[in-house]
A = this chain, B = another copy of it.
Amino acid sequence: MPSISPIYLEDLAVGQVFRSGPTEIGVDRIRSFAAEFDPQPFHLDEDAASSSLFGRLVASGWQTAAITMRLLVDGELKIAGGLIGLGVESIRWPRPVYPGDVLRVESEIVEVRPSHSNPDRGIVRIRSTTFNQDDQPVMIQTASLVVPRRPGHQP
């Protein structure tokens, strides 16, 4: 569902799917993110990682989450006013992200609900799955976004 004009609440319906382009995660990106945000041996050093639960160097799950956000911002879901999250109700990391993995995101609309307290907006629940190059999910999250109603809509 490619889209150029900004998306309003009225444009969204349960079951719609929005996609992103791909991005590769090299070992340098894994190490530099880890050094700043998650300096644990299994994210920093191949040798130390080999004796960890993972058995080899893996990306921080929070890096996967941050990269997923970037893919969403650059992807098809161009919400008017931006992608503004109210909260996340679930994140799972069913398998690790390894150096050289190529990630992309598919997002499905799971609920569209006008706000009663703020008639100019609504809440949209969206399930985003981040896949690696083998189409295996590496992160699955369900989040709630604030989405404006189209200006001039009849309440």
Contact = CB atoms under 8 A, between A and B. Distances in A.
A62 B73 contact: no
Interface stretch (A36-44, A104-112, A123-131): A36-44
Contacts of A86: 92-93
Interface string A52-69: 110000001111011101
Interface string A106-145: 0000000000000000000000000000000000000000
A82 B43 CA distance: 11
Interface residues of A, number: 34
A87 B92 contact: yes
Given A82-B42, A92-B87, A36 B73 contact: no
B81 A53 contact: yes
Contacts of A82: 40-42, 52-53
A67 to B, nearest CB: 7
A84 interface: yes
B90 A89 contact: yes
A37 B81 CA distance: 17
Interface string A80-102: 01111111111111000000000
Given A36-B70, A87-B90, 6 more contacts: A38-B70, A41-B82, A53-B84, A88-B88, A88-B90, A90-B90
